[in-house]
Structure 1
Amino acid sequence: MKKILFLFLLFTKVAFAQSHFPVDTTYTVKSVYDKVKKDHPYISYVPTRSYETVNQKKEIVYKKIKDRELHLDAYYNKTKKQNPAIVIIHGGGWRSGNKSQMETFAIEMASKGYSCFNIEFRLSMEAPYPAAIFDVKNAIQYIKKNARKFNVDTTKVAVLGCSSGGQMASLIGTTNGKKEFEDSKTVSKFSSKVNAIVDVDGTLAFKHRESVEGKVAGLWLGGSYEEIPSIWEQAAPLNQADKNTPPILFICSSIPRFHAGRDDMIAILNKYGIYSEIQTIPNSPHSFWFLNPWFDETIKYTTHFLDKIFK
């Protein structure tokens, strides 16, 4: 009985330490399903598939901030071959969502020969921009440091994000080597550089003729555009794109506002001869990647692009 009580108190202490900040749980696969089904009654959940060839290791601590631990989940092929890595960033308006939402996606990509990592990062109710960017870049450094453990080829690292995670993925990729986007409190000999970007329906510009980002973006960025215009401009991947931007795949819904800045970015990439690709899924809602009939199509486009870049 004493042992059980001790374990209970220990668990409670750890849980409290990890949850002393507000959490928004409004963005879930179920909430997406309920919303989308109104206009697309034929949709269905994607069952989690299992593969004997895929290892899973969850709740790995990659970073500590005082008593706060940040975790990642790893899904990788059991072969000892070094594989390309995919660092996966969930959506949720920078405010909600969690890494487990991308588990089915990660398992599927791992079965195709990729080492996949679903990343926990600080959301806007806990810490404003650029904390989440620092977190994911720290996760990339952790993955490279432990590359042998996860069968990772450190020269072939992609960052993939969905919705707000797509914006983050694009910003992380377009800021390769830019010190102002690195966490100065964390020292690592490993680079946070990525070699490819997959942006799944994530905006590329917050203040743009095609953009309608407002309050939700402002909560993450720390204020309205009128209050902090330089931060809104800095956080836009479009404004960071240059000769050091890696190849990028845009997987797009049929809703134009989520593609704000895309064509302008492609024009910049074309100037430097950087490969880009657009795949638009007709009649698809935002958050299509969670559901049938769009899940397999998203996997197909991602696999084809990354195979082209890395294999």
Structure 2
Amino acid sequence: MAPYRLWLTILLLPLTGYAQRTEGLIHRADTSFSNAGAYRQARKHYPSIVLVTDSVPPGVQQARNVPYTTIDGHTLQLDVFYPVHSRKPLPAVMIIHGGGWRSGNRQQHIPLAERLAAQGFVCFTVSYRLSTDALYPAAVHDLKAAIRWIRAHAATYHADPTRIAALGFSAGAQLAALLGSATNVPALDDSTRNMDYSSAVQAVVNIDGIVAFIHPESGEGNDTRSISAATNWFGYTRTENPDLWRQASALTYAGKQSPPTLFLNSSVARMHAGREDYIAILQRYGIYTEVHTFPDTPHTFCLFEPWFTPVLNYTTVFLQKVL
């Protein structure tokens, strides 16, 4: 196993001698990844799948387009879904969309947020700055600010500020895992927004997201045909600034402070790079982990039936167990 633990104390990154790439900062939305597009692509090989759509269940209240922060001219919003008649604070789930840190939007996982809310969770689907507008670690800063905002406003939505999970898909899952393990890392926190509140999470649900960028199982950083999503996000290739790529890897920080983690994975092996190494570390400290791999599935499996309902059920049971 590579010595990921050696990188735990990284606070300042060395100069690399390479200029940071900024051509990806196009300052307009990249709409290349959407649920509809993913459905059209997936049904070529899985013609019987059904795209799960937005439908608020009975007993679930919603608050859409709630601003949670403004930074560098960007007002970032979230949506909230919560049970109407709760008499006690409920565990919260922050849901982070995927799209290669460049595309996608928080609306893509509203169906999951709605169904989880019906199961007794307060769910927040969040926006964050993508690589079209800001390079790493801006997205991490935003999501830590969102967790703090959730704690600051927990009473409004009957959420329990001591029980917050980060759930993500694909790039969102990579971010969720990083939020879970990289606590108290100054380089990953801008230290300006809602600092009276903790940005720690008590559980992670990782839906097909890597936990290590530089790893034998990782396919990130292949720039042979075009600039890869990760290179666009970091502004450096993996050879130009490997320390930065390691800094963004949850495996770098995995240890006794890491929260219980659920892995829900497709059959696309490269999308769970580093998973077994990560699990081994958590198990060493007696931290609960759970893995469910869905055979013969596309990367976007969680958006479609027949896989959406098992994803919902596994997530519900896991969160009820650990929160």
The normalised TM-score by structure 1 is 0.91
Aligned to 1:153, what secondary structure does the other structure show? Answer: strand
Aligned to 2:155, what secondary structure does the other structure show? Answer: coil
Q: Distance in 2 between matches of 1:125 and 1:231?
A: 19
Match of 1:193 in 2: 200
Match of 2:110 in 1: 103
1:27 to 33, 36, 46: 33
1:288 to 301, 306, 315: 301
Question: Is residue 125 of structure 2 the alignment partner of residue 125 of structure 1?
Answer: no
- Count of residues paired in the alignment: 291
Q: Distance in 2 between matches of 1:109 and 1:57?
A: 15
2:290 to 266, 273, 277: 277
Match of 2:242 in 1: 229
Q: Does the Cα contact within 8 Å between 2:100 and 2:230 map onto a contact in 1?
A: yes
Indicate the structure with greater helix content: 1
Superposed CA deviations along residues 20-39 of structure 1, whole A, max 9, x for unmatched, are 92110010001100111111
Question: What are the equivalent positions in structure 2 for 1:1-311 lying under 5 Å apart?
Answer: 21-78=27-84, 79-214=86-221, 215-310=228-323
Q: CA RMSD in A?
A: 1.2
Give the Å deviation of 1:143: 0.6
Give the Å deviation of 1:80: 3.6
Q: Distance in 2 between matches of 1:27 and 1:56?
A: 25
Q: Which letter does structure 2 place at the counterpart of 1:128?
A: L
Q: Distance in 2 between matches of 1:56 and 1:29?
A: 21
Give the Å deviation of 1:292: 1.1
Give the Å deviation of 1:67: 3.0
4+ runs deviating over 3 angstroms = none
Q: Sequence identity of aligned pairs in percent?
A: 42
Give the Å deviation of 1:187: 4.8
Superposed CA deviations along residues 241-272 of structure 1, whole A, max 9, x for unmatched, are 11100000000001111111000011111111
Give the Å deviation of 1:66: 4.2
Q: Which letter does structure 2 place at the counterpart of 1:291?
A: F
Q: Distance in 1 between matches of 2:297 and 2:76?
A: 33
Q: Which letter does structure 2 place at the counterpart of 1:293?
A: P
Q: Which letter does structure 2 place at the counterpart of 1:211?
A: S
Higher relative contact order (CA 8 A, sep 6+): 2
Q: Distance in 2 between matches of 1:180 and 1:58?
A: 31
Q: Which letter does structure 2 place at the counterpart of 1:271?
A: R
Aligned to 1:104, what secondary structure does the other structure show? Answer: helix
Q: Distance in 2 between matches of 1:69 and 1:188?
A: 18
Give the Å deviation of 1:136: 0.6
Q: Which moved more, 1:88-97 or 1:36-45?
A: 36-45
Aligned to 2:256, what secondary structure does the other structure show? Answer: coil
Q: Does the Cα contact within 8 Å between 2:145 and 2:194 map onto a contact in 1?
A: no
Aligned to 2:154, what secondary structure does the other structure show? Answer: coil
